[in-house]
Chain A
Amino acid sequence: MDPIPAVAALAAVLGAALAAVARTRIAFLAGVVSALALIPLCRTALPEATAWGLGAVAYLVGTLLGGYLLWVSLRATGPRLPSTRTIPSLAWLLLAGAAVGLGVAGWPVMIEWLDPSRAPGARAASWLEAGRWSMGAGLALLLIGLGRLLASAQPARLAAGAAFCSGAAWLMVTGLGAAASDVTLPALGLVLPAAAATAAAHSLRPHADR
């Protein structure tokens, strides 16, 4: 069984956790980019097709562009980010860890609910099965995105939360077996730049409404 999807999913979860607790600009950016950059690898049997490769490259370019725009939006705050409270952050991280476990273990149950004919194969699947880890990482990203980032008042964290939500949805549904087309990846890669550009626009200008 190919361990790459599981490793990529774990990297995504660790990156998301880092983004949630980061207190410096560089740690936050590293967390966001590592949480999102490896998402295309979280699937079984990477296709050989050029179209998929181009899609994945376009997605990576979008993620890096989004990272740059996040960096720009964080200029106003300086190298240290407004701190978040430790205990709620740790509680969310524990919850995200539990979500990974739940996703990995509960994956066959979800498959059975959606399509009973796939249940026997899902129950017999290995613990390194890509779908399990994709589901777990998706749940963790969703929890961190909704709970820690979109709840924040800071523009850059909001932008990361927006990207985590769409990334999480993609991870969960592809983990359950949905065959997303090649062009889905480049489109997904546009969410972080769009979100980060909006955050940057609000970080960089004074709130003088006309």
Chain B
Amino acid sequence: MIALLAAGLAALGALAVVLARGWPRGACLAGVVALSAVTAAVVVAPLEAPVALGEAYLVDAPLTRLWLSGMAGSLALVVLVALLVGPSSTFPMVACVLVAATGLSLALSDPTVALILAAGGGLLSLAGAGRAWEGPYRQAAVVAGLAVGAVLLASLIAPTSPALVLPAILVVGAVGLRVGAVPLQVAPLRAARTAPLTMVPLLSVWAPYLFGLLAVAWATAGPVAGVLDTPAVRDALAIVGGLTVVLAALAMLVQDDLGALLGVHAIGDGALVLLALAGGAAALPALVAWLIVSGLARTALAAWSVAVASRMGSRRIDETRGWIRRAPLLLPALVVPVVAGVGWPGSPPFEARRLIAEGVMPEAAALLVTGASIALAMGYLRLAWSGIQRADDASDLPAHRARRAAGWSAAALVLVMGALVLVVVVGYTAEGFTEASAAAAGWRPFQAR
């Protein structure tokens, strides 16, 4: 039973991290062991028959395996990077809890419970946010309530009733709040700017993506699917989602902080959830493929940011001048996940975005949105420019041998993470490997049994 196994191992890991919280290195080690164990377990364990849990079921699916292995594996590597350059106990603990919540929510057949768990996990991930945590917390706080209201209310209303608009509004509002769609982007961005860099993949990527995926899975197959399929609603969702992607692409060019850069990119990528809501069930396989690639690429870039910030002594982009000279291994470690995440014409991430956008808007607009989604990566040009400039003397600190070795090891790990994203992207096309679309096509999370 993949989900239970993952949740159990991750919960044990969280407990171990809590017990070792006074010793950050030990806490990180416990986190690495737990997350690696989760990854290994979900890859190796066989898919089994559904298990009853009260009136609900826990259902194994290839998608659960794919999502959990990607998420837990990449987070294990980030914890390892953090262990090398700046250990903390909050990150591994929150990562373990989020992995446990993810395993259960992906496998549960009851949409209310799955969405509450996903929303609760998102709320808990804000434990690692920085001083600007209150804004996103307020946004995340109402998401669980909106989800409960939407799912249970929809079950009450006759399928043809106009009252179905109400649960549709609630679920769209919950998704908008969670992914930080325009105009709700301010608080999540502020949190990404002030949170420790290691926390950004949890706050801005995996937690909102999980909720978005489950909400789309419910909304596009459940009672409100008809409402979301009406032209007015589709257009409104397409406009908000498309506008968010375009504005995020512009905002990427002016960010001066590594955390903010990651946060804006995650919002731009996450906005495709709104387009998928408008696109209906047909967009779900593409959304799954896209969210997994985006999650892995954002996580690899977060690990890269941690390594650069540690080497250069600052997370402000202007103060990382000359990072290529100081840490050359970090150049391929930046390029590989950016390229793999953006994709190229014909590659799964590229085609997934094109399919999602073309499903809800005219061809020209879809081209603009897909282009803007690719242009999100232009923000990293500034990083590259900063890297090729002459390094400040301040960053040329004489480093102890052990510290230098840790820096090189962290850079190598980040490169491995980038390569993993590329392997997953290429593997989408290989039969019997990742096959996200096939996994998503067979994913019926909230089907009555």
A residues contacting B by CB (< 8 A) are: 51, 54-55, 113-115, 142, 146, 150, 153, 158, 161-162, 165-170, 172-174, 176-184, 187-188, 190-191, 194-195, 197-198, 201-202, 207, 209-210
When C-beta atoms are compared, the residue in chain B nearest to A164 turns out to be B145
A14 to chain B, nearest CB (A): 21
The reply to whether the CB of B419 lies closer than 8 angstroms to some CB of chain A is no
Docked Cα-Cα span, A194 to B197, in Å, equals 22
CB-CB under 8 A for A165 and B131, given A51-B55, A115-B158: no
State which of A51, A113, A167, A194 has its C-beta within 8 Å of the C-beta of B124. A194
The reply to whether the CB of B163 lies closer than 8 angstroms to some CB of chain A is yes
Cβ B152 vs Cβ A191 within 8 A = no
State which of A158, A187, A191, A209 has its C-beta within 8 Å of the C-beta of B112. A187
State which of B54, B108, B141, B156 has its C-beta within 8 Å of the C-beta of A195. B141
When distances are taken between beta carbons in the complex, the residues of chain B under 8 Å from A55 are 54
Cβ A210 vs Cβ B116 within 8 A = no
Cβ B123 vs Cβ A181 within 8 A = no
Cβ A197 vs Cβ B127 within 8 A = yes
The reply to whether the CB of B138 lies closer than 8 angstroms to some CB of chain A is yes
B443 to chain A, nearest CB (A): 20
Docked Cα-Cα span, A176 to B156, in Å, equals 8
CB-CB under 8 A for A177 and B156, given A158-B138, A172-B149, A184-B112: yes
Binary interface profile of B, 113-139, with partner A (CB < 8 Å = 1, else 0)? 100110111011011111101100110
When distances are taken between beta carbons in the complex, the residues of chain A under 8 Å from B214 are none
B residues contacting A by CB (< 8 A) are: 53-56, 86, 88, 90, 108, 110, 112-113, 116-117, 119-121, 123-124, 126-131, 133-134, 137-138, 140-142, 144-146, 148-149, 152-153, 155-158, 161, 163, 194-197
When distances are taken between beta carbons in the complex, the residues of chain A under 8 Å from B152 are 169-170, 173-174, 178, 180
- 20 extra interchain contacts, Cβ-Cβ under 8 A, other than A165-B141, A198-B126? A51-B54, A114-B161, A115-B158, A115-B161, A162-B123, A162-B141, A165-B142, A166-B116, A170-B152, A173-B153, A178-B153, A183-B56, A187-B116, A187-B120, A188-B116, A191-B123, A194-B120, A198-B133, A209-B194, A210-B196
Cβ A183 vs Cβ B138 within 8 A = no
Docked Cα-Cα span, A39 to B148, in Å, equals 15
When distances are taken between beta carbons in the complex, the residues of chain B under 8 Å from A198 are 123-124, 126-127, 133, 137
Give 18 CB contacts A-B under 8 Å.
A114-B161, A162-B140, A169-B144, A169-B152, A170-B152, A176-B153, A178-B152, A178-B155, A180-B152, A181-B55, A181-B110, A183-B54, A183-B55, A184-B113, A184-B148, A194-B124, A195-B141, A198-B133
When distances are taken between beta carbons in the complex, the residues of chain A under 8 Å from B194 are 209
Cβ B145 vs Cβ A166 within 8 A = yes
State which of B112, B133, B155 has its C-beta within 8 Å of the C-beta of A202. B133
When C-beta atoms are compared, the residue in chain B nearest to A162 turns out to be B141
Cβ B55 vs Cβ A188 within 8 A = no
- Main SS of chain B's interface residues? helix
Cβ A173 vs Cβ B124 within 8 A = no
Docked Cα-Cα span, A153 to B137, in Å, equals 11
Docked Cα-Cα span, A207 to B117, in Å, equals 28
When distances are taken between beta carbons in the complex, the residues of chain B under 8 Å from A146 are 142
Docked Cα-Cα span, A185 to B110, in Å, equals 12
